[in-house]
Structure 1
Amino acid sequence: MQQKDITMACKVSRFCGVCLFFLVFGANIARGQDGETRRAMVPALFIFGDSLIDNGNNNDLPSFAKANYFPYGIDFNGGPTGRFSNGYTMVDTIAELLGLPLIPPYSQASGDQIRYGVNYASAAAGILDDTGRNFVSRIPFNQQIKNFESSLEQIKSSSGAQDVSKDLAKSIFFVGMGSNDYLNNYLMPNYDTKDHYNPQQFADLLVQQYSQQLTNLYNLGARKFVIGGIGLMGCIPSILAQSSNGVCSDEVNQLVQPFNFNTKTMVNNLITTKPGSVFTYIDIGNMFQDLISNAGSYGFSVLNEGCCGIGKNSGQITCLPFQTPCPDRSKYIFWDAFHPTEAVNVLFGHKAFNGSSNFAYPFSIQQLANF
């Protein structure tokens, strides 16, 4: 089956496949809408990151970084939720492939919901606490980790510390951070970061703190980590809008390379220094390079414009409320000026879950789940 057929099959399966789950943390039992019972691959999925995987944590914040209005969610069952997409995010696809329900945002999760995982991601958030202040309110990675601690206390109070420790060690922790530390910090004119750090120094600063933050999660019981790299940021519509010829910015793409290189090195170091831990690195940059180079074979024909009214010469950042998007979202790589369409998110979710080592190193998420 060709990759674009897999993508379409996955999208269809969202509506006709497993849609309703009953899952208890540690029991791993999920029931599909058709009544079929199956076992989830892991007890839970805990998600940390930014707007690429935020699913509603910014909705009630005094923030400019929100997506809880139409046309966001136009293809999502239930409409706008806070996802910066027309439908699924990458982690939504991964959750379903793991046999889990869609993971609820921290801002809405309570009671038994937190037993199968929580999404702590926040639009405009970064590794550095100061990142994204231009959007006013957001939840930096450090605070996301504190929010996980709060969830952990709730789980322990109902399940017991020993049981939680065993299940946490089997659960997957997906972390995708770093994009905003460039887009909404280093590259912003109202930040003086670039005056103090060259690109390599900034990457060193980020990954030094990143490593400590992941160590904090490890100390809280996390053992299986999925770390997402930064994509080809020089090819997103918001960067293309600053170009006179509409060509990807090599300067911006080169800017983030030291971070991705350092992150891969960090993953290898953590594997050797954290007993019992298993890490895998998702090469989002390589996924985007493959997608752009082979767009036609994947079924995409519009590479440099957002479906949601974002032309390549537009400085618009997010979709305007009730704006009419393009009619055929499946042809577009980008949904708005920063974020990919559901079609791309589903494709990347599959590549992360069971793709080759070119996209997931040294293990796919499927292999990681089976450890």
Structure 2
Amino acid sequence: MKANWNDDFIKKSAFLIYIGANDYLNFSKNNPNADASAQQAFVTSVTNKLKNDISLLYSSGASKFVIQTLAPLGCLPIVRQEYNTGMEKCHEPLNDLAKQHNEKIGPMLNEMARTTPGFQFTVFDFYDAIIRRTQKPSSYRFFMTNSSCCGIGTHDAYGCGLPNVHVRLCEYQRSYLFFDGRHNTEKAQEMFAHLLIGADKNVIQPMNVRELVVYPVDEPMTEVWVPTTSATVQARESRSSSHGYGSY
């Protein structure tokens, strides 16, 4: 496979990027009293670093990018456990940081596509995909979305895979959204893979990964990322229900 990593192969490949979760988890832990201006400054620094990383890949020959928005970090089992939120609530300050980060992604990529020849991208709304499953688990055949399949603690979120830590392992991991404190189960990842490849603009925009891969190399994008509002989301949901993505 590595022998095929020539310039043409790299240019036609799609690069999936998910960066930033650990930055915000560490920032929240180390700066519990950060005010709004400090939070905004940190979000700007993280998104600027993301832009620099994408630019570096582009300068190395990459042209197709799939950017995954951050999950609702305050709803991760490890965060619920560390901040003692209980089973029903998430740690909203971390969710707010994730939202601030995600709001910058689409406009940043639109600008890069406008000013960078041959730059193509799409954005997967991972935040919304996770929120939907935590709020309505039965709709997606999950039994547990606030605790982990593997770990110890109030949310079974710590220690999975660590030596000398006697963790609990659930009997049926496909009923769980999270395998450990931060990572999703195989079943959840299968769902997200299907959304990435074939879902409509409720989930991934301005195109899905299948469309991005076959999009002509070096061609300028004819569509851009657009911010969603409750009105546009509802309109899209009514249209998408006939395509099998009414419950994505």
For the aligned pair, the TM-score class normalised by the smaller chain equals 0.7 to 0.9
Over the aligned positions, Cα root-mean-square deviation in angstroms equals 2.3
Equivalent residue for 1:229? 69
Letter in 2 for 1:264: G
Pick the aligned partner of 2:2 from 114, 122, 127.
Answer: 114
Number of residues of Structure 1 aligned to a counterpart in Structure 2: 211
Distance (Å, rounded) in 2 between the aligned partners of 1:315 and 1:166: 43
For 2:146, what is the secondary structure of its paired residue? strand
C-alpha displacement of 1:187: 1.8
Partner in structure 1 of residue 105 of structure 2: 263
Matches within 5 A, 1:241-252: 241=81, 242-246=83-87, 247-252=89-94
Q: Residue type of the partner of 1:114?
A: K
1:334 counterpart = 2:175: no
2:210 counterpart SS class: helix
Confirm or deny that 1:306 pairs with 2:148: yes
C-alpha displacement of 1:260: 0.6
SS at match of 1:339: coil
Q: Equivalent residue for 1:368?
A: 212
Secondary structure of the structure 1 residue equivalent to 2:150 = coil
Provide the C-alpha distance between the structure 2 equivalents of 1:347 and 1:274, rounded to a whole number of angstroms: 32
The 1-side partners of 2:18 and 2:66 are apart by 8
Match of 1:253 among 95, 99, 114: 95
**Which secondary structure state, in structure 2, belongs to the residue aligned with residue 305 of structure 1?**
strand
What is the match of residue 356 of structure 1?
200
Q: Is residue 216 of structure 1 aligned with residue 67 of structure 2?
A: no
Aligned partner letter, 2:169 = P
Deviation track 1:217-268 (CA, whole Å, cap 9, x = no partner) reads 1111101111111001111111111224331122211122111111121111
1:345, distance to aligned residue in structure 2 (A):
0.8
- Structure 1 CA distance for aligned equivalents of residues 196 and 125 of structure 2: 8
Q: Is the Cα–Cα contact under 8 Å of residues 150 and 157 in structure 2 kept in the other structure?
A: no
Per the TM alignment, residue 314 of structure 1 is displaced from its structure 2 partner at its CA by: 5.4
What SS is found at the alignment partner of 2:151?
coil
Calculate the TM-score normalised by the size of structure 1: 0.53
1:17-166 to structure 2, matched below 5 A, reads 113-115=1-3, 155=5, 164-166=6-8
Other-structure match for 1:172: 14
How big is the shift at 1:188?
2.9
| In structure 2, C-alpha distance between the alignment counterparts of 1:252 and 1:227, rounded to whole Å | 20
CA 1:314–1:323 in structure 2 vs 1: closer, same or farther (change >3 Å)? closer
Q: Secondary structure at the match of 1:187?
A: helix
Contact 1:238 1:317 in 2 (8 A): no
Q: Check 1:115–1:300 CA distance in 2 against 1; reply closer, same or farther (3 A cut).
A: farther
State the secondary structure of the residue aligned to 1:261: helix
Distance 1:292 1:115, change over 3 A: farther
- Call closer, same or farther: CA 1:325–1:370 in 2, change over 3 Å: same
- Which deviates further from its counterpart, 196-205 or 333-342? 196-205
Provide the C-alpha distance between the structure 2 equivalents of 1:338 and 1:237, rounded to a whole number of angstroms. Answer: 7
Aligned residues of 1:237 and 1:311 also touching (Cα < 8 A): no
Provide structure 2 residue ranges, at least 5 long, that are not aligned to the other structure.
216-248
C-alpha displacement at 1:179, in angstroms?
Answer: 0.5
- In 2: Cα distance, 1:172 partner to 1:240 partner: 34
TM-score scaled to structure 2, two decimals?
Answer: 0.77
SS of the residue 1:226 aligns to: strand
1:192 Cα offset (Å): 9.6
- TM-superposed CA distance for 1:310, in Å, is 3.7
The whole-number CA distance in structure 2 between the counterparts of 1:349 and 1:192 is 34
The structure whose residues are more often helix, as a share, is: 2
User: What's the secondary structure of 1:343's corresponding residue?
Assistant: helix
Distance 2:67 2:34 in 1: 25
